[in-house]
Amino acid sequence: MSLYKNLITSESVAAGHPDKVADQISDAILDEYLSTDPSSRTAIETLVTKDNVIIAGEVFGPNVENSKIENIVRNTIKDIGYEHDGFHWRKVKVNILLHEQSNDIAIGVDQGAGDQGIMYGYATTETKSLMPAPIFYAHSILKNIMSAVKEAELGPDAKSQITLAYENGLPVRAESIIVSIQHPKDMDQLKVREIIYPHIVSSLPKGWMCHEENLLVNPTGRFVVGGPVGDCGLTGRKIMVDTYGGYIPHGGGAFSGKDATKVDRSAAYMARYLAKNIVFAGLAERCLVQLSYAIGVSKPTSFYIDTFSTNMVDEKQIKKFIEDNIDLSTIGIIKHLSLNRSIYKRTACYGHFGKESEEDGGFSWENTDLSRNLRREFNMENNKKVSLDC
């Protein structure tokens, strides 16, 4: 993709979007299994629709009673804010259809990766979080709106979309912005626009706001019925929102509900960790990492680095250093990033990447500890490294 003169678009969805409700429920149940037994393996799928939640999938681990899983479902829905006719945390019917993981899959996990697949990680200097600007600002706009409008009774279902203009390889302004947000039936569209407008402007760099005619708020004119009443939600349907906004390739695997033996999740986290540390160390301005795995095979079947000709160090040397110093097996990734902890529900909204690492191990793949070794190895210690002040 050429970035020298282009328009690039990404979207974000709020915690109350039906697909994100499903993601949060799946990851909340995963966290419960891991809190009881860190070696638990899960592939939990959630469907939410009017008055109903269905939990299905495979688990290997402790016996978690259905009553406890039901409480997790209801509390998750309550935390999101659904006390609506047609989808109320207290009134929804919860149908739990979890069963034991196949022995055939268990054998593969014991020997190596829990499945086959291709995973990508990316980092770029165009934002302080080393994320692509379109997805970064799509998330920022929606997060700022949703944290500020609860008293106005807007939400919880909402979406944002932003198109950025690039010139000479850098984002320079917003070309268009779309926000769709659930509202009370007696609130007109001008009032909705008035409430959210300042939060959109404050989310962007100065001078980046698009022309008024290119800001679309609830383009249909009405968004009263939302959430699972208006649209069925499923785990894993927002993979571009979860990653890089369509800015780079995606292997196709979703994250939520899957423990770290599933390389869809763990290898994608490792790929981001590697790409971010390469860029943070100053070895390149942009970096794409690709990993692929086969079920039951310990090591990756491929490992690829592309710095788009922005590298200060030969890509082959960077790749060799990583292969010599980082265990890219599934077990190695889980150990290096400490992925067998209850840290997943928090990842389910506003992207899995570009956030601050947390003291309890949350978002460990955002750590930049590897960058010190990279800088030392390639004599970059006197060169300026990237600032991550957000």
> Would you say how long the chain is, in residues?
390
Q: What is the pLDDT of residues 348-367, one digit of tens each?
A: 999 999 999 999 999 999 99
Per-residue pLDDT band for 209 (boundaries 50, 70, 90) equals very high
Same domain, 95 and 140: no
Alpha carbon distance, N-terminus to C-terminus of the chain? 26
In a domain, 28, yes or no: yes
Maximum CA extent, the chain: 63
Same domain, 345 and 210: no
Structure tokens at 347: 């990842």
In a domain, 244, yes or no: yes
Same domain, 288 and 349: yes
**CA 387 to chain CA centroid, nearest Å:** 22
Q: What is the pLDDT of residues 269-327, one digit of tens each?
A: 999 999 999 999 999 999 999 999 998 888 899 999 999 999 999 999 999 999 999 99
Higher per-residue pLDDT: 112 or 215: 215
In a domain, 383, yes or no: no
Answer whether the bond into residue 205 is a cis peptide, omega within 30°. Answer: no
Q: What number of CA atoms fall less than 13 Å from residue 230's CA on the CB side?
A: 15
What DSSP element (H or E) covers 95?
strand 93-100
Number of domains comprising the chain: 3
Same domain, 209 and 264: no
Which residue do the tokens 């992207």 mark?
Answer: 351
CATH number, domain of 37, equals: 3.30.300.10
Same domain, 10 and 149: yes
Instruction: Tell how strand 117-124 and strand 286-293 pair up.
Output: antiparallel
Mean pLDDT across 177-200: 96
pTM value surpassing 0.85 = yes
Alpha-carbon gap, residue 362 to 350, rounded angstroms: 15
Q: What is the pLDDT of residues 88-99, one digit of tens each?
A: 999 999 999 999
Structure tokens at 47: 């469907």
Burial class (CB in 10 A: 0-12, 13-18, 19+), 2: exposed
In a domain, 387, yes or no: no
Same domain, 10 and 36: no
Residues 6+ away with beta carbon under 8 Å from 72: 25, 28, 29, 32
Same domain, 71 and 145: no
In a domain, 386, yes or no: no
Mean pLDDT across 257-263: 95
Q: Look at 115-124, 138-147, 154-163, 380-389 and tell me which has the smallest mean pLDDT.
A: 380-389
Same domain, 25 and 51: yes
Same domain, 34 and 105: yes
Q: Look at 250-254, 262-266, 271-275, 380-384 and tell me which has the smallest mean pLDDT.
A: 380-384
Same domain, 258 and 373: yes
Q: Which amino acid is at 254?
A: A
Of 231, 248, 277, the position where a domain reaches its end is 231
pLDDT at res. 390: 40
Alpha-carbon gap, residue 320 to 304, rounded angstroms: 11
Angle (deg, nearest 10), helices 18-36 and 66-80: 140
Same domain, 159 and 223: yes
- Domain span at residue 67 reads 18-111
In a domain, 252, yes or no: yes
Output phi, psi for 262, to 5 deg. Answer: -80, 110
